Amino acid sequence: MAVEFTLPKGSNVTFKRKNQDSETLSTTILDGTSVNISVNKPQSFEDGVVGSTVQLSDVLETVDIRYVASTAGYSNGDSVNSWVNSGDLDGYDLQNEGSSPIDHPTFNTDDVNNPFSTGAMKFVISDSDYSSDYLYWGTNDARKTLEPEDAFTFYMVMATTVLDAKKGHYPLWVNGSARDNSAQTAVDSFIGPGTTFTVRLKGPEFTFTEVDILASPSSNDQSFTSSPADGIVIVVTVDKDGVVRHYNANAKSSNEITIDSSRKFKADTFGGPDGRNQKSPSYMTTGDTLYLAEFGYWNSKLDGQSAATLARLLGKKYEIS
């Protein structure tokens, strides 16, 4: 009787049958006659081949906002006046309608401090009023904010020439509510002591002497250094209760910190302070530079496994460990 074997199945494992051999056995029946019997050996399989369970495109399938520098259609040195959202959320293309390129970012592939050979958007801070590089959502006369009502997730693939806590140049900026004509980064980070890496979400109620911290989760298993040429992958998740956690390119996560329920995270501009009414903080220096290769956002929280996988796959894509 023949026995059929069903190939094992797995979402990321491929199996292949081995050739099924037979063996001839000699025996003697009751009347002394010698006979040969051919017997098939049991069916078996070669070792399974394990593939990649999840691709980057799988995780990004539902992304609401996504900006990718390398596919934006610019050449090295081009002035950037728009950056199209390839995600699902309408109305969140970035732009700067001003005719002067003074406050426009540029597309860059070859700066010594830019680790992204496929290109990054280069935003430069100026301590002269209203002349830093920036982009915004909406139109010049009807600007939009990025202001999550509930859970959310965002990620950044970037490098900055300054990683100091007070000077870190990150893409999301918030306008001050306690100080007129002032803005600061809505996200920043700092390194230390030791290998501790802290990501800070910040609100608009900052003063000359105090930063408005909403949450500052930290991790102790980071490979980031203070070298300006190091690329950084950061994935930040916030659940409906305000619990914040971040992940790095090694899929390592931070501790959890909860935002006070009375506070909300928001961003007013992208890459730098509002060029009409808001200027950069006094602690920033002309020339502080952000190289942004990719940014993404969900109006929901990715689960921990998906967030860690996203961080790892982005690190792989941009060769960041």
In a domain, 68, yes or no: yes
Count of domains forming the chain: 2
CATH of residue 203: 2.60.120.200
Q: What distance lies between CA 256 and its chain's CA centroid?
A: 18
Give the pLDDT score at 18: 59
Residue from 221, 147, 132 nearest 182 by CA: 132
In a domain, 190, yes or no: yes
Give the pLDDT score at 130: 66
| CA atoms of 249 and 231, how far apart (whole Å) | 10
Give the pLDDT score at 140: 84
Q: Which pair of structure tokens corresponds to residue 177?
A: 């509510």
Contact 198, 217 (CB under 8 A): yes
Give the pLDDT score at 10: 42
Contact 236, 209 (CB under 8 A): no
Give the pLDDT score at 189: 83
Rg of the chain taking only CA atoms, in angstroms: 27
Query: Is residue 196 domain-shared with residue 289, that is, in the same domain?
Result: yes
Q: Across the 321 residues of the chain, what is the mean pLDDT of every consecutive 10-residue run?
A: 44 52 71 70 57 84 98 97 96 87 91 94 82 90 92 95 64 83 84 80 84 89 61 94 94 93 93 78 78 97 96 94 74
Query: Is residue 33 domain-shared with residue 178, that is, in the same domain?
Result: no
Complete DSSP assignment for 15-75? --BPP--EEEEEEE-TTS-EEEEEEEPPP-BPPPEE--S--HHHHGGG-SEEEEGGGS---
Could you tell me the residue range of the domain that residue 193 belongs to? Answer: 56-317
How much is the pTM? 0.81
| CA atoms of 201 and 96, how far apart (whole Å) | 25
In a domain, 7, yes or no: no
Contact 169, 163 (CB under 8 A): no
Query: Is residue 40 domain-shared with residue 76, that is, in the same domain?
Result: no
Angle at 121 between CA 239 and CA 199, to 5 degrees: 35
Give the pLDDT score at 88: 96
Residue from 260, 286, 307 nearest 167 by CA: 286
Give the pLDDT score at 58: 95
Give the pLDDT score at 11: 43
